[in-house]
Structures are given as structure tokens and as C-alpha cells.
Structure 1
């Protein structure tokens, strides 16, 4: 085996894994979207050279309702989804947007013809509106 991937691992479980693993994970698939950057996990994984795959780069449907995101979409002539995907790419994440509609799949790929400046990157990162779930991956409430 040459590479392994993990999903939803926080730093502590990664530390535990590395105590016995002979291969450092190549990718950690976690929920990452503008307004929910999981900074501690991102920093830790980057220190180990673990790629971060954003399995939900568009967050929830609420992300489309945030006025500032709509303004950025208009400024760049893009959709809110494209704004979120481009932000993920510029953050160094591997975005994995889900869609079953060919038009949206095509639209999601049209994110390489523009780039954000540092001001807009920070603005996007600090906008809230995509969370609404438990962030504690170590516990589950039923």
C-alpha cells in the first residue's frame, strides 16, 4: 500500500493513528467551506503534508442566502457556488462539490478564469452561513 486517506479526523485521532501507522495519510476528507475553515485541523494537516479534501465546499443551502456572497458573485460575474469552489482552491483545498445536474457540474468546473485578491479571500473566509451542525467529531448525539 502506498497511500491512505482518512475522513473527518481531528488532530488527536491523527496523532493516535500515527503512533502505529507506517504510512502517513495522504488526504483527510473533512467539511470545509467559507465560514467554516476548521483552522486547527487545517494547520495540523498542512504541517504533516496531508492534503485537505473539502467534501462540502458549498456548505448548506444557507450559504447561497448570504448577501455578501451574492455581491461577490455579481462582482466576479460568477455564481455563489463558483465563488465557494474558487475560494477552496485558493486555500489549497481540494473541493468536492456534489451535483447530479450536468449544467451545475459544468458550471462548477468554470473556476479557473478568475482569482480573488487577499481582501476578498479574507472576506469570504469570515462570512458565516454554512454551518448548523455539530462541529465536535469526537461525540455524536442521538
Structure 2
């Protein structure tokens, strides 16, 4: 776990180029694995490092590039559904940065988000306001 945190730190700190959907998918896999295995404080560190990588990606990418990476939005939403306050706050931070950067009212952005919606979620997505009020 310590080596994963270091790798994520290095990944975040080096000059980053273009990101692909596969990069985001891999980061989400790391995040999911460590959220499911909450055996130590190091697991929390991995979640925090993944959050920081997502925030760095959001910072570096243009609005158009972020529109092509809607999984970041859904990752933030998934973290808002958590009962663990640290995860919830991570999700809120990711979404805040994402929504500040993209034109959320744009039809293209809404279409991309809708197309990438994880339909396997149960319960279904109730909307951001419900999840934010839960906070």
C-alpha cells in the first residue's frame, strides 16, 4: 500500500500529458480496491492520493478534455454515496473542481455524462442535491 501511495504521488507530481479513459478506469479500480479493504490507515492514504490525482487531472485538462473523461464525475458521485466522511469529502472535492471547470449546462457535457452513467448502480442516481444534502 505504501508503494501504491508513492507511485500515485509520483504520477501526480510529474509533468502529466494527455489522459485517457483507460487511465481513469485504472485509477478507479485502485480506488475501489482500497475502499473495499479498509484494514488500515494506509488504505485511507491511497484514497486520498487517488483523489489528488483526479484533482490534478481536472486542473491540467481543458474543458473539452474533461468532457471526454466523464468517469471522473461519476467517481465523485460514487464517493458522495459513501457513509465514510473522508470518502464523502473526497467526492465533494472532485465534483466541485470538475463542475467549476466544465460547462455543465452544455448539451454536449450533459449527453456525455448521461451516456457514461453507470446503469448498474442500485439505487439509481438521485441527483447531486440529494447527495449533497446527505453530507
TM-score, normalised by the number of residues in structure 1: 0.26
Write 1 or 2 for the structure with the bigger share of strand: 1
Write 1 or 2 for the structure with the bigger share of helix: 2
TM-score, normalised by the number of residues in structure 2: 0.27
Larger Rg, first or second structure (1 or 2): 1
